[in-house]
Amino acid sequence: MQPSSSLPPATPPNRQELSPIFLLERAGEVFAERPAVTDGGQRFTWREFRARARRFASALRAAGLQKGDRIAFLAFNSEPLLLAHFAVPLAGGILVAINTRLNPEEIAYIVSHSGATRVFVSPELQPQLAGVPASVPRTVLGPELEALLQGGSEAPVAPWLVSEDEPITINYTSGTTGRPKGVVYHHRGAYLNALAMVLDHRVQAESQYLWTLPMFHCNGWCFTWGLAAVGAESICIPKIEPGPTWQLFDGGVTHFCAAPTVCTMLVTDPAAHRLERPVRLFTAGAPPSPTLIARMAELNFQLDHVYGLTEVYGPFTINVPAPGQETLPPAKQAELRARQGMPNVCAGEVRIVDPDMNDVPRDGMTMGEVVMRGNVVMTGYFEDPESTAKAFHGGWFHSGDLGVQHSDGAIELRDRAKDIIISGGENISTIEVEQALVSHPAVMECAVIAVPDPKWGEVPKAFVTLKPGASVTTEELVAHCRNRLANFKLPRHIEFGALPKTSTGKIQKFMLRDKEWQGRKTRIN
């Protein structure tokens, strides 16, 4: 560790503010010669990576960065974006990592709304900055960034951090129901969730973490910072290609994170095979079906199911198997692992409540809304006090997710509040219908939404993607589901084809819903 000169002058002897920037300072000493990141043909040790972060931070200050300035990054998973997670807050700025699949108008809005004073961009993504005013300085990753770093210094950078409650990043939501909202993270929450992630994922210094999860998404669920705590190596890839990804699994990768749709893409690829050694996996984004969980186990993936939202730094809960669960039949194990579990070690509290904020019975059947509070809940929405107050109504963060709570305290999602189907006065969980559909051997993935119906108000419609070479009729799928669902829950319509997805692999149900309800009375929820 560096001497006290690297700390704020007023720091008392019995306190250090919780911040990820100190994780890198330590990693540069403790794991100095261990590999920190591999990005294509480049590889840096933790000593070299720390030196680059210091150069970056000092160069930003020399270029005029003031405390609290927002620095935007529109970049694929790469060493520079990983570097920015340390360098920008070390310099005193706030990182705004932008979704690479947004259109130019959305990106221009985020740059403007955040007040970003500078934009860094991957060369291939420059056209997406078309709407950003030329007055906002931009730096292209590659030679331009390296030239900037050469102007910095490898000497320790004295942080301007006064309080761990200061903002460290702003993460903009997908904006599926309007303009994206800027979710503000603070140093304390980033530090704590980073530690929780590497602890729960069992990452060690010898581990190789594959960046299949976009670093712009909840700051990579805080693994961007957590890997420095344990000295593990980042393996950066700009996008997921199943064949090369399987080669990386065979070549040494030990950990990764991915949405269930990404897992489905991997396990249905021709390159899929049982791995010689286990690879650990965090999955979240949508409840994985027991069918997918069982298939991942067959291929020697050790899957942990986590759950959260952008507003809670990514994963808030984790499904921790009970003692003896491994002796149960595989189908039962997969069923239990499909639950969302309990708060991680640093998260806080989670409840399932009714509209009056009363806890619902722990019977695994009574639905309510998932609410959270604790260390890893956002500060609020950037410059949006009205939305912040609504989200924090009653002193808890309201997720908008509906779920049940089991007798052991574990929660299990049933649906998004806006996705629940109300047919003839009966609530239908789209997740339950989807899990029945994907249990058919021909189905690769699916999405179920409510569509208008003159008699029942709305009924389930399924959009289904079949496995390559597979075939099945609507009648056969409905018959398959009839053995698993009550009659009123059966899909009344099935459409076959590809599904719209976000860059993180989540299925965009709103696009399906908008098409089905176009020109009709819109749903209240």
Does residue 333 fall inside a structural domain?
yes
* Mean pLDDT of the chain, nearest integer: 92
Q: Residues 212, 196: one domain? A: no
Say which residue the tokens 């360098």 belong to.
87
6-11, Cβ contacts within 8 angstroms, sequence gap of 24 or more: 6/156, 6/157, 6/158, 6/159, 7/158, 7/159, 8/158, 8/159, 8/160, 8/161, 8/162, 9/158, 10/162
Q: Which residues contact 37 (CB under 8 A, 6 or more apart)?
A: 43, 44, 49, 79, 82, 233, 234, 235, 236
Phi, psi of 389 (to 5 degrees): -60, -40
Q: Residues 292, 380: one domain? A: yes
Q: Residues 366, 439: one domain? A: no
Phi, psi of 137 (to 5 degrees): -60, 145
Q: Residues 443, 510: one domain? A: yes
Does residue 487 fall inside a structural domain?
yes
Instruction: Identify the CATH number of the domain in which residue 144 sits.
Output: 3.40.50.12780
Interstrand relation of 301-309 and 279-283 (parallel, antiparallel or unpaired): parallel
The two structure tokens encoding residue 411: 């929660």
Does residue 392 fall inside a structural domain?
yes
β-pair partners for 398: 371
Given 200, 220, 252, the domain boundary residue is 200
Domain range for 72: 46-200
Does residue 40 fall inside a structural domain?
no
Integer Cα distance of 468 and 464 in angstroms: 12
Cβ distance 90 to 65 under 8 Å? no
Does residue 36 fall inside a structural domain?
no
Q: What is the pLDDT of residue 425?
A: 65
Does residue 31 fall inside a structural domain?
no
pTM assigned to the model: 0.85
Instruction: With both helix axes pointing from N to C terminus, report the angle between 187-200 and 21-30 in degrees, rounded to the nearest 10.
Output: 50
Q: Residues 265, 329: one domain? A: yes
Q: Residues 351, 395: one domain? A: yes
Q: Tell me, what amino acid is at 32? A: A
Q: What is the pLDDT of residue 506?
A: 79
Given 416, 441, 472, the domain boundary residue is 416
Q: 505, 467, 46: which is closest to 245 by C-alpha?
A: 505
Sign of CA dihedral 491, 494, 496, 502: negative
Does residue 326 fall inside a structural domain?
yes
pLDDT tens string 392-450: 999 999 999 999 999 999 999 887 777 888 787 677 888 889 999 999 999 999 999 99
β-pair partners for 459: 451
Q: 293, 338, 263: which is closest to 505 by C-alpha?
A: 263
Q: What is the pLDDT of residue 178?
A: 65
Q: Residues 246, 161: one domain? A: no
DSSP string over 481-498? HHTTS-GGGS-SEEEES-
Integer Cα distance of 416 and 419 in angstroms: 5
Instruction: With both helix axes pointing from N to C terminus, report the angle between 187-200 and 223-230 in degrees, rounded to the nearest 10.
Output: 60
Q: Residues 173, 299: one domain? A: no
Cβ of 235: how many Cβ atoms within 10 Å? 23
pLDDT tens string 207-260: 999 999 999 999 999 999 999 999 999 999 999 999 999 999 999 999 999 988
Domain count, the chain: 3
Q: Residues 51, 89: one domain? A: yes
Residues of the chain with pLDDT under 50: 1-6, 176-177, 522-525
Q: What is the pLDDT of residue 470?
A: 94
Interstrand relation of 421-423 and 348-353 (parallel, antiparallel or unpaired): unpaired
Burial bucket for residue 505 (CB in 10 Å: 0-12, 13-18, 19+):
buried
Q: Residues 460, 505: one domain? A: yes
Q: 97, 361, 71: which is closest to 221 by C-alpha?
A: 97
Burial 161-179 (b: 16+ CB within 10 A, else e): beebebbbbbbbbbeeeee
Q: Residues 196, 212: one domain? A: no
Given 158, 184, 200, the domain boundary residue is 200
Q: Residues 143, 90: one domain? A: yes
